[in-house]
Amino acid sequence: MNLTLKIWRQKNTAAEGKMVTYQANDVLEDMSFLEMLDVVNEGLIAKGEDPIAFDSDCREGICGTCSMMISGVAHGAKGTTACQLHMRKFKDGDTITVEPWRAKAFPILKDLVTDRSAFDRIIQSGGFISVNTGGTPDGNALPIGKLDADKAMDAAACIGCGACVAACKNASAMLFVSAKVSHLATLPQGKPERDRRVLSMVKTMDAEGFGNCTVTGSCEAVCPKEISLDFIAQMNREYGNAILKNRAERKSSGD
């Protein structure tokens, strides 16, 4: 099939960007979206032009780096990453727009590549558990109920791609942060630090410039791992409890 691509080109963070039109001819329906871009780039390189910069790593829907808006939708379709989107989803003659994530907290580095290190800083502020290292513990030493295990696994499916932020009119990162907070708060290993974790991660999220959730559900609609909005509700409860406990502790210690 032959396609018309309108792709955002921007030399660097400070430069002005613009949409540039390219033709992608003889595209095979079994190609992934990134493979199609690879072929377009080979053509650009052969002509001595600058190839389109885009991120990718695993190309298996695991790493979350292939961030791009495809025809206005994060990753181009529900429940998939751009690397797992196949060209059979498109029709011969289609015009496809390709843009980087749209969020102030994810500045554009070049073309479709954005700086998503704000997510790393949120994780650094609390998305971990502290344990003494030593011998490998027995797998069954800490029994976890089936419901909790399933819930934690659902939250842990978040790959931190940032589609939730890009789709949200407020550029809110609450689906991402809530998945990480809920994942750890649900498991026994994460309970000792649960209050400190949620307070710190929410504070960092706000400091990084992400907006607040107004429950439009656009994040859940585009999340490639279909993370549920329920985790935002759980994070709000975790946050409220942590604030109340903090206040009560300060009061009893006379602060």
Q: Give the binding site for ligand FES (CB under 6 A).
A: 56-59, 61-66, 81, 83
Which CB atom, from 211 or from 224, has the smaller least distance to ligand FES?
224
What residue has token string 């400190």?
196
What residue has token string 């190309």?
59
At closest approach, how far in Å is the CB of 32 from ligand FES?
9
At closest approach, how far in Å is the CB of 64 from ligand FES?
5
Distance CA 51, CA 40 (A): 8
- Minimal CA–CA distance to 223: which of 80, 86, 82, 114? 80
Which CB atom, from 123 or from 144, has the smaller least distance to ligand FES?
123
Residue 234 phi/psi, 5-degree rounding, is -65, -40
Which CB atom, from 58 or from 244, has the smaller least distance to ligand FES?
58
At closest approach, how far in Å is the CB of 68 from ligand FES?
10
At closest approach, how far in Å is the CB of 90 from ligand FES?
18
Distance CA 59, CA 24 (A): 21
First and final CA of the chain: distance in angstroms? 69
